[in-house]
Amino acid sequence: MHLLKFTWLIALMILYTGALSARGIYQTSDNFLAGIFKQKTPPPQTLWLTGDKKKTVADILTHDYPSLRVRYWQAGHLSAWILDETGKERPITVGIVVNGSAIETIRVLEFRESRGWEIRHGFFTDQFNNAQLTDKNRLDIHIDGISGATLSVRAMQRLATLALYLDSQITR
Amino acid sequence: MSLKIKTIGLLLALNVANVQADTPSATEMWEIIQQQQNEIESMQGAGKSASGASRTTLGGYGEMHYNNLEDNDGAREKKIDLHRFVLFFGHEFSDSIRLFSELEVEHALSGDGKSGEVELEQAYVEFDLNENMQAKGGVFLLPVGILNETHEPNTFYGVERNPVEKNIIPSTWWSGGAELTGIFGDSFSYNLGIHEGLNTSSTDKYAIRKGRQKTSKADAHDLAATGRLKWTGAPGIELAATVQYQENITQGDDSDAGSAILYEAHAVVERGPFELRALYASWDLDGSGPASIGADEQSGFYLEPSYRINAEIGLFARYNQWDNQAGNGSDSEKKQYDIGVNYWPHPDVVLKLDLQKQDNDSGSGEKEGINLGIGYQF
């Protein structure tokens, strides 16, 4: 009898949690860009990572960037970046908007790790708003972490720093 | 002769003209480069998903300690110990089935007469049931306390892990069995598991730590069940509680002992450079055997405030109090005071120094001195 109740409980939990989302796509890149640029997404541009840029990017990420170039979207003072970084085992896809050398928006678009899903929440991502780059290529603000999600938090900090650096390298 | 030269010159001119006609313009060349780059990236991506090698991940951590401690009988202990060398191996069989494992060498040498051990602390296969619920089977770390699941040396203060989680919970604690994990609401996560139980004895004064079977031909006559609820609904804050039920902590070998329940709760609060960790854990053991020596209650708590001066340096203090025979009036309570510093030259590398002082009600076995450590993870 107790086992039957336990089985029903588990079944209800599966049904209930099926309506939520931890791993998976939270927002597509197209939707993210459409929201930022009010349905008039500019064509993508390319920033090549050569010479000092390649080295600085590797310093920020603590590893080489997996490509020779980065795509971005730009309109006026706004630049948007869709970047991947691994927390512990799987890449996290993040959309970042920089406005006038400061972060305006950062969103987790796709989360593939088995732990650290809390970084998608606004209470975490909102901490990055208005963050800027210091002379040493670090964020100029403190980000409160999430216990048990240390590696995902650090991946987000690296991507925010990278977006600010890349924004400083594009020509307007 | 002149005709030959003219003919050759004409042929060369025609050839150059043909070559120029076949050469792309700078714009066309740029498009070709971009197309090639796209193809390279797409091939790299395809390789990642199709290749078995790229689905296998490797990680690890390790720590070496120097302890210079003197007890209240004047005996001084000085030792250097490669306390842990750990390798993680993970593999993605598919997008929804994965393996995770943790192989550890403790104290550098293992075997007959050696002080160390080779231990398999994690080896489980996890299945995604849906986007918010996973099931795992195998050997896994039990969801209890702050350090039991996250104990890489760069993630906590102090050279040695705190004595409360070590002696009461008891960390590091792993078991073979099955577990469901998942999330609900915006900020709650849960664990529900059935796994091997403890197997302690009266010879060991029913000490919980002595009862870990480590999934090594573990006696499975009496299983255990663990449930945890965790809230992480604000940046820097974790509130969690675990309850565990053991059917019989001697696996039926001791008729004077029976079931047991563990209650554990903790909070982690990080605000800017300040952090506070607080944990309380308590065991309630049934049976006249544990009650006769006060082991029917085993409990402890600690408070650990810390302050991060900058990204590289952090200071901490910790007060620990625990008692593995708290059920009677014997002088078995122990206290330990720690203060120290962590230095992170890199986020994944840490150097540690701390001072410890113990104050035991029994007046014996109190260790006081300095600990140094170096650790890493990757």
Are B184 and A124 within 8 A, CB to CB?
no
Question: In this structure, are residues B359 and B45 in contact, taking their beta carbons and an 8 Å threshold?
Answer: no
Q: Flag whether residue A69 sits within 8 Å of chain B, measured between CB atoms.
A: yes
Chain B residues close to A114, C-beta within 8 Å: 98, 126, 134
Cα within 13 Å of Cα(B113), Cβ side: 0
Cα(B271)–Cα(A143) distance, rounded to whole angstroms? Answer: 9
Chain B residues close to A18, C-beta within 8 Å: 130-133
DSSP string, B280-296: EEEEEE-SHHHHHTTTT
Are A124 and B235 within 8 A, CB to CB?
yes
Question: How many cross-chain Cβ pairs, A to B, lie less than 8 Å apart?
Answer: 92
Instruction: State the pLDDT at residue A88.
Output: 80
Burial of B226: CB neighbours in 10 Å, binned 0-12, 13-18, 19+:
buried
- The whole-model pTM stands at 0.81
* Residue among A100, A89, A105, A99 nearest A159 (CA): A105
| List of chain A residues with pLDDT < 50 | 1-4, 17-20
* Tens-digit pLDDT string for chain B (378 aa): 455 556 565 555 555 555 454 566 777 677 667 667 666 655 554 444 434 446 898 999 999 999 999 998 889 999 999 999 999 999 989 988 999 999 999 999 998 889 899 999 999 999 999 888 999 999 999 999 999 999 999 999 999 999 999 999 999 999 999 999 998 887 899 999 999 999 999 999 999 999 999 999 999 999 999 999 999 988 889 999 999 999 999 999 999 999 999 999 999 999 989 999 999 999 999 999 999 999 999 999 999 999 999 989 999 999 999 999 999 888 999 999 999 999 999 989 999 999 999 999 999 889 999 999 999 999
Instruction: Report the Cα–Cα distance between both ends of chain A, in Å, rounded.
Output: 70
Interface test with A, best of B37, B130, B180, B239 (most A CBs within 10 A): B130
Question: Which among A68, A144, A154 has the least Cβ separation from residue B270?
Answer: A144
Question: In this structure, are residues A78 and A98 in contact, taking their beta carbons and an 8 Å threshold?
Answer: yes
Interface test with B, best of A6, A8, A16, A17 (most B CBs within 10 A): A17
Chain A residues close to B146, C-beta within 8 Å: 147
Q: Flag whether residue B312 sits within 8 Å of chain A, measured between CB atoms.
A: no
Are B235 and A154 within 8 A, CB to CB?
no
Instruction: State the pLDDT at residue B29.
Output: 72
Chain A residues close to B230, C-beta within 8 Å: 148
The four Cα atoms A101, A61, A95, B99 give a dihedral, to 10 degrees, of -160
